[in-house]
Structure 1
């Protein structure tokens, strides 16, 4: 039986991990090698268990391909699993990421949109590598493809991994700082759905949309609050306030906006394995927020409890 739906604006995140160990550690934003993480879904769940994470969301970019493996591993390691995706969206030529929790993985309109985005990513990487190689950066597209796991969603982190593998750099951060940022001369855009349309797609699939790191300081260009209002009108449920890319000012902004719009606030690690310096459970979400997310879904995909 589904729980009654709480008023969304009435709950807040736990914030930084470790403030109250009696409460479950809930990390609602992580990536596996199915997109741009460095660990398989099974390895991701094992790492979560080792790190003391009680509830983990797998949210690979534009794909649900890691769900089955993650499900089996969650049962093995006794971790509660929230199955989700991170959709790459666009707004005024700015990249925006939308977390979609518990959508129906068979919902055709959503799957078709995700497939279109993945196909566009692949051709875009080849063009970026061509630009970089023409400017003397030692890299081939074949080297990049060697970093993409079978069935994975290709992305800029795979270019960074190829540069690490051939000894040009030591960490992904360096590649993004020097060559792969949105303002880089080597940057090539890819197809991404409009942010409001993405919210509508997640809701139509029975899922729960939460805007990932909305005020990140690494984005080129600020995100307009008016867009978030439009996304709320389309069905947005929450904002990921507690994130490594948010400082106190960004957290305060997200908190005020969420209170005004009746949105929940989440906290997450955005873990990518060794691909980023983020650590599992470094920011967490309150159990009451997870309850609100679960209640806001249609139930087509349920939170998987061991």
Structure 2
């Protein structure tokens, strides 16, 4: 599960920083010399993120990282390369055009989407549009098999955060309601992995930053390093939590109770998933921050607190 919350303003690697061999391989994919490269806004890691254009007018989005600079990001980008090569055509994802993949560098050449993030004040309408796109996510588990891992075992360790907090005697770090309801939260989270079992393609950690809306109002989802097979509603819930953590005033519970995406989600399943996320984020927030992401832990705590506040309202 890619759990890094929204941008932490890290300086990105740029197109000009890439070694000649990597740039040449990208240009081979595009069929011409890159004459323009526009680095996107600072993000949560140093992975490059450039919209490039060739002399012949071909366009693409290029993201790249070296193992020696960021081994974790290198592995994640290689996982995304594998996922993009297996995504069904019905997935709302930009197409993989090609790649450079070596022991030291990974660079993905992806279809360029001219889109923007969901924004205020039209956030409710745009959130509903994104949930509609998630409702159409394809079935990927047929006859018991899927090209993507099952979300349930993927999340089993992730959702053991409450047990880790208890074992480390870290209850003083918790919001007061969470400390008072620790047994309840731990029991809920223990059932979260079972609750997310399903047959749909899921992004497994969808946030507002992972969504683009183009000029035709089409919804695109990016950053597919953690794709899995699971419950249809899973991504919608992480999206609504991220919107709430980011200051959205949308009534997320009303959406959960009324939108078709959540029709198959029992109330206890939603609570279990929120409890699992809250425990994960509050546990992760105790760890030292990576050197190139100094605000990461504060952002993770913000997500955890938002999940607890949502659960407190739901279980009042």
For the pair shown, the structure with the greater C-alpha radius of gyration is 2
More helix by share: 2
- Which bracket does the TM-score occupy, shorter chain normalised? under 0.3
Higher RCO (CA 8 Å, separation ≥ 6 residues): 1
TM-score normalised by length of structure 1: 0.27
TM-score normalised by length of structure 2: 0.27
